[in-house]
A and B are shown apart, each in its own frame.
Chain A
């Protein structure tokens, strides 16, 4: 499942969604089978906790199965699932309350997927950046992390995010701004010290 699904994949998913809406359980199972890794990835990025992510995946598909009749079909199924997953993860994270220390080792095992033709140095640099980004995202407070993940990784609009999180659009924008700023500080704090510039007080007015 991707935001930009290939036409054939999209048609196939649309057919499965249509059948599932008629109550075809095997069709829904096939939808789950095709999309659960993507849903899990989003859930893990949002919760930064494997057990929670698994719960979020199960709960999200339950909600999807129950709410399939409300899926209008004018949006992509993947986007609809992102929204359900975001909503569910937000609930889980709020329920969890206390911040747990997370191990990122499991998250960083996979090789980085890069565009074909990328030079080795560039690939290594990108791999290092992606690793730092993953770590940085997990260090963000959940309220800020969810905004950065949904907007900058998954490309949801401010409006979609605000709806799913039950916050206003301006609040979503402010949190996104803070999240990006915090992430930038985590990634480039040392570099900017060399600039002799940023002392981390940009957002004093935020």
Chain B
């Protein structure tokens, strides 16, 4: 059984100090989804190319599928479930709903993470900056323009 070789990793997930017992090579994605039951971070490719599994690691978007547990001990991880203040939606999630900015919604979590990282760094982005910031995230349904509008709307809301 895996537990016999499991190591213990301490990290902070959505503000909560957490200990995970697993092999150090375990990608963060599976620790989040299966050990912590945070299912909003999704598997898409396993090689960091689609963005469906993006989380914030110390504030920077990174693919959880390609991030081994050993590399993030002691760090702060934010998943889509932890973007907003506890129990509430992040302003981006509100504007995504207002713009109905999804079709299947599978890529949405990762896109919210990228957008939140952008707005934290650049609260008044241009549309081109939003598109560039989301270029590491793939959307197959063609909901791109709605999502860009939702990000711009969240930025506009934050200004007023």
Q: Do A and B come from one complex?
A: no
Which residues of A pack against B, CB within 8 Å?
none
